Chains A and B, each alone.
Chain A
Amino acid sequence: MGKVAILSNVNIDMVSKLLPNQDKVFQPQGYGNAFSLLLNENSDLAKFSASVLFFIVDITSLTASALTYEDAVSSIDEWFSDFQSCVKPKIQYFISDVSFRKEYIEDTDDLTSSRLEAYWLDNLMALIDKYTNIHRFSLTEDVNTMGKASFYSEKLWYMGKIPFSSQGCRALADHIALQLKILESTPRKVLVLDLDNTLWGGIVGELGRNGIQLSDDKIGALYRDAQRMIKQMQKHGVILAVNSKNNPEDALEVINQHPHMVLREDDFSSIKINWESKPQNMQEIACELNLGLDSFVFIDDMPAEREAVRSLLPMVEVPEFPDTVEALPEFFRQIYIKYFQKLRMTREDTEKTRLYRENAKRNILEKSLDYDSFLENLKINIERVPCDNTSEIRLEQLLQKTNQFNLTTKRYSHEDIMEMKQNNWCIYLFRASDKFGDYGIIAAVLVNTAGSCPLIDSFVMSCRVMGKQVENYLIDYVESDLLKIGYQKLIAEYIPTAKNAPVKKLYDGLGYQRIGEEETVIRYEISLADRPLRSYHIHNSSERNSL
């Protein structure tokens, strides 16, 4: 865990004290002076150098002296303008939304308190749009779950300027700890689902299509709502798959034809309905989707099936199944928060299901042809795209998430990328498509041009296009571009990690000469004018040069 500081305009010490890993939590002296602590370079907070900052804002105190909506608005404006003057790159900020402890005295139609909460939220959204390192912390979710009467405490407020009860402090600390965990863990990608008693009630093989529980009321509606939750997850980029012991005809009939099914065949990127063992099916799904099992979460109501997957495939996350049906929709929401939630979305996420479905089709084609004709047949198209505001988000994501095809595994942030652009690094981003569809932006090569000889600082490629000789083309493209600019030589590096063994010999294979070998890094060099011929099958139509 990185170092974290919890700041507030009220006494928040108790929340800080309740967090795990106390040695990495800033222990503030006093409260209410968060901004001066932030701005003063000699403050305890500055010396502590936190990498994550939480701002828990008590709107009641912030606007305490305001008598009108306009007065309160100017207090909020002032807070946001103060905050913006403190924002630094390389720190992740979580800013709370707000909830009045005590609402204003108002007539039925005034809505002052609610309007101010919304005004805060609008300002926060504007900040989030502007800075990629600012995120929302949902204080209101904790307040709503617990209720104001339990979350806040008048006694503690008047005795110690702590607005929250002991329960409230604990809820906040738990929520912050969860948020930190999400920030540091790599989100999972695939949700693998059982069918009977998971997506619907009962066993379709015994009860038939009309006997299962899936409907618009009572228990059937719980399963429908659970499916709606899963559908929302899919919209947020989670890849869905089915792993079920059933007669495929029975189960597919429900999936395709049952009037209350929310999830249909097309929503699943891979479907395994058969009498094979679940671990075996799981491996086939991974193979088909070309994704590691360590990105899988498996949901099954049967303890024995969960145990089988857990013991044979320990890298798959297998959460316990809820004891009661009514817990099911919320269970899936929590699964999303715990395993899949990310801080930012790009277009590729929303299109993932399609991408992976197309990939599964490609893999079926792959089996039936010899490899060169397979690649030729794919009609792969690679296009360089400019590094602009839209593609930068994807670049950051590629750098953060790519583990296998990642030569140096340097996890650059958005601000780092901005700096590279300022320093005139050559940034190559590539989009790929083939006859089955568009992969989106799948690779990046970052060339540091500061030295006398350019250096490939980072080379990452999505596993979706691995094994298609795409890298040969990409390197050729970069080299010929650099040669055109006037460089004669190019340096490259491989930094081994636990996961990037697949590219260990990449530069050797591309004809680079080893010029230095240490335990942590192998350095290579190539002369740009006489590089070897490499084989690839790229059908380019619209290449855009010199961007």
Chain B
Amino acid sequence: MKEKIIALITKTLELEAGTITENTKISEIKKWDSLMHLMILSELQSQLGINIPIEDAIEIDSVADILDFADKE
């Protein structure tokens, strides 16, 4: 699942493979703006069934946060 999530984020942001790792922080990636953040949330839900509720979604600031959430589910 971890690989799938990272691949999905990489693809949505149209970045080269390897750019996003489990240690990436959102603020480090220029393309990862608020609009793209919403797209990623929507893709996680429709493609991998990971539904992060709004109150959690606004707290997310790193790939690790997303992976943590997916683990909890």
Contact = CB atoms under 8 A, between A and B. Distances in A.
Given A165-B46, A166-B46, A159 B58 contact: yes
Contacts of B23: none
Contacts of A165: 42, 45-46
A362 B42 CA distance: 61
A155 B50 CA distance: 13
Interface string B38-49: 110111011000
Interface residues of B, number: 14
B45 to A, nearest CB: 7
B42 A160 contact: no
A160 B42 CA distance: 12
Given A150-B46, A160-B34, A166-B46, A155 B41 contact: yes
B45 A155 contact: yes
Contact of A159 (B43, B45, B46, B57): B57
A169 B39 contact: yes
Interface string A425-446: 0000000000000000000000
B1 interface: no
A258 interface: no
Contacts of B57: 155, 159
A153 B38 CA distance: 10
Interface string B11-39: 01000000000000000000000110011
A21 to B, nearest CB: 16
Nearest to A165: B42
Contacts, number: 41
Interface string A1-40: 0000000000001100100000000000000000000000
Of the listed residues A150, A159, A162, A169, the one surrounded by the most CB atoms of chain B closer than 10 A to its CB is: A159
Contacts of A13: 35
A156 interface: yes
Q: Classify the interface of chain B: helix, strand, loop or mixed.
A: helix
Contacts of B46: 150, 165-167
Contacts of A160: 34-35, 38
A155 B51 CA distance: 10
A113 to B, nearest CB: 25
Nearest to A153: B42
A159 B54 contact: yes
Nearest to B12: A166
Of the listed residues B34, B43, B45, the one surrounded by the most CB atoms of chain A closer than 10 A to its CB is: B45
Contacts of A159: 38, 41, 54, 57-58
A165 B53 CA distance: 15
B43 A166 contact: yes
B35 A17 contact: yes
Interface in A143-196: 150, 153, 155-156, 158-160, 162, 165-167, 169
Nearest to B58: A159
Of the listed residues B34, B41, B57, the one surrounded by the most CB atoms of chain A closer than 10 A to its CB is: B41
A101 to B, nearest CB: 15
Given A156-B42, A166-B42, A166-B46, 15 more contacts: A14-B38, A14-B39, A150-B46, A155-B41, A156-B38, A158-B54, A159-B38, A160-B34, A162-B35, A165-B45, A165-B46, A166-B12, A166-B39, A166-B43, A167-B42
Interface of B: 12, 34-35, 38-39, 41-43, 45-46, 53-54, 57-58
29 contacts: A13-B35, A14-B35, A14-B38, A14-B39, A17-B35, A150-B46, A153-B45, A155-B42, A155-B45, A155-B54, A156-B38, A156-B41, A159-B38, A159-B41, A159-B54, A159-B58, A160-B34, A160-B35, A160-B38, A162-B35, A162-B38, A165-B42, A166-B38, A166-B39, A166-B42, A166-B43, A167-B42, A167-B46, A169-B39
Top 5 nearest A-B pairs (CB, nearest first) are A166-B42, A166-B39, A165-B42, A160-B38, A166-B43
